[in-house]
Amino acid sequence: MEKIAIAIGIIHIAASIALLNGLLTVFGQSKVACQAIESIARQPEAANDIRSIMFATLAMCETSGIYGLLIAIIMLFANPLVDKLLSLL
């Protein structure tokens, strides 16, 4: 019984590290938006190009956060490595 508790604890720690990716994604997206607004303020004639690049970059940043969430959900609810982890403990 204690092996299962240790395995569940390790899985929860790994899932929280994967979710940390989502938290850090927010800071990256705010940096991208801040720099885009600053660039538009400096060069208003290039606003359309800067805006389109900003949205593409924000989409790429967001996929990183979604992948972290997906990995955390898989680790918590459908972890295929539980049997291996229990055999090691």
pLDDT in tens, 19-77: 888 888 889 899 999 999 999 999 999 999 999 999 999 999 899 889 988 988 888 88
pLDDT of residue 6: 82
pLDDT of residue 86: 73
Q: Is residue 25 part of a domain?
A: yes
Q: Is residue 88 part of a domain?
A: no
Output the domain CATH number for residue 61.
1.20.20.10
On whether the CB atoms of residues 69 and 22 are closer than 8 A, the answer is yes
Q: Is residue 7 part of a domain?
A: yes
Domain extent for 16:
2-81
pLDDT of residue 1: 65
Q: Is residue 9 part of a domain?
A: yes
Q: Is residue 89 part of a domain?
A: no
pLDDT of residue 89: 72
For the chain, state the CA radius of gyration: 20
* pTM exceeds 0.85 for this model: no
Which among 7, 11, 5, 10 is positioned nearest to 77, based on CA atoms?
11
pLDDT of residue 82: 75
Q: Is residue 24 part of a domain?
A: yes
